[in-house]
Amino acid sequence: MNRADPDVLEAHVSNLDGESLVAFVTDLWRARGFETERNGASVVARREGETRVVYVLTGRAATASLEAVGSVDVVVAAGRSGAGEALGVESGARAVDAANLIEMLRYAVGRDVATELCERHFGAAPGALRFPLWDRVRRAVVGVEPETAAVGVVVLCMVAVGVSAGFGLAGSSMAGDGTSGEAVATTAKPTSPAGSGPTTVTIEAAPGPTEPGGNPAAVPGVSETGLGNASRLGRAHAETVASTSSYTIWFDYYTAENGSVGRVKRDVNVRVDGERIAVQTIREGIGGTRSLVRSSYFDGTDRYVAATVTDDFTRVDTRTPTATPLAVPFTQPSEMVRAYVATPESAVSVVERSEPGWYRVQGTGRPAGLSGAVTDYEMTAVVDERGFVRTFDAEFSVVRDTDDDGVTERKRVRLTWTYGRIDETEIGLDP
């Protein structure tokens, strides 16, 4: 699939009329490996013994039609996302809008198949598509000087009337888309916007020393002397993450590699938006050279992995992806706390911030969730009163490959995580 502006693709989806939108959804689900059968505004999709009903909300569709269909698993609404979300809540179904459809087109099917779908439904290959005429005129009007705005509106109306008359259309719809060092009380600073490619995080020291006061015991599982109940903290962390509509989490893993003296960094950037998850692993060598190691996309149903060379996504299984390195269990937030934060010894202090209720938990000793090969373990986590482990930084030693002379060496590892873009994350896997 040639690279195309996602906004252009989305505009083409949003401009499909009802009949064309149902046809596009049918073909897209078929391209994802389902056997499909159309029934008016609904599509019955079957695969591997499971059946899902996808209901397409068109301009002529109403709730009464949905009641006639019966049980629905997915509600598709392109250009009417608010109505789709409302209908999804009412029916207990997953809501999918035009942006979600474009995500599937870009990541959940092969590039050759995506190109064929674009040519069939939008009239050209992805790289050759432009905004539909209506959108081009509207964009030309936006941002003009106030005195010319009225003229732009007149032009817009004239174009609409002309197109309708010339093609016999009754409306406007047209079928024609960091670094080493202390990392306590951290501040995440993304260097690129969501969806625009690999993202790094700069870890800064706390703005000042800790102050007396606060109430660490207000944090689930934490007492005035340190971490008292890791399981309770883990549950609180998981509940907070689950109540967040979208977020980005950055894992940074630093260690010597292939006998080198310097550290090699691996960024694992995870974007979560509802059921949809995108994961990128990027290797940064000692000289600063960055290379994409792996990309994966979970659309709420299936997981797809892209080959590094072709950037073509292939469905691999139906499980939620796990992040590497060290299989960091980001899809199980409570397990993250048990495996990395639950040290046998710990202490807690107040973090000086404008917002009260942030605490620094520092611990030593290997958590029970880690392998016995881990030694010299030290960690610092910043948690808020909800039990949300916002940032984490640990250093430890692990066994290196045994030399021929039988001497076992150990290498130093640093692992950090940072949550950010809370409720503001967008899915994207562009290189």
Identify which of 338, 173, 358, 328 has the alpha carbon closest to the alpha carbon of residue 250. Answer: 328
DSSP H/E element including 287: none
Q: How far apart are CA 122 and CA 106, in angstroms?
A: 15
DSSP H/E element including 244: none
Token couple for 136: 């081009």
Which pTM does this prediction carry? 0.70
Owner of token pair 């605490």: 359
- Residue 175: what pLDDT? 36
- Residue 176: what pLDDT? 35
Contact 47, 34 (CB under 8 A): yes
Tens digits of residue pLDDT in 366-378: 998 888 889 999 9
- Residue 141: what pLDDT? 55
Tens digits of residue pLDDT in 3-62: 678 889 999 998 899 899 999 999 999 999 999 999 888 999 999 888 999 999 876 554
- Residue 410: what pLDDT? 78
| % pLDDT > 70, the chain | 68
Contact 75, 62 (CB under 8 A): no
For the chain, the first-to-last Cα distance in angstroms comes to: 14
**pLDDT at position 327 over 60:** no
Between 145 and 156, the more confident residue is 145
Domains (ranges, CATH) in the chain?
6-128 (no CATH), 133-167 (no CATH), 216-420 (2.50.20)
In 222-336, which ranges are continuous DSSP H helix? Answer: 230-242, 333-336
Torsion on CA atoms 122, 124, 130, 135, rounded to nearest 10: -20
User: Which amino acid type is present at position 237?
Assistant: H
Q: How far apart are CA 393 and CA 254, in angstroms?
A: 11
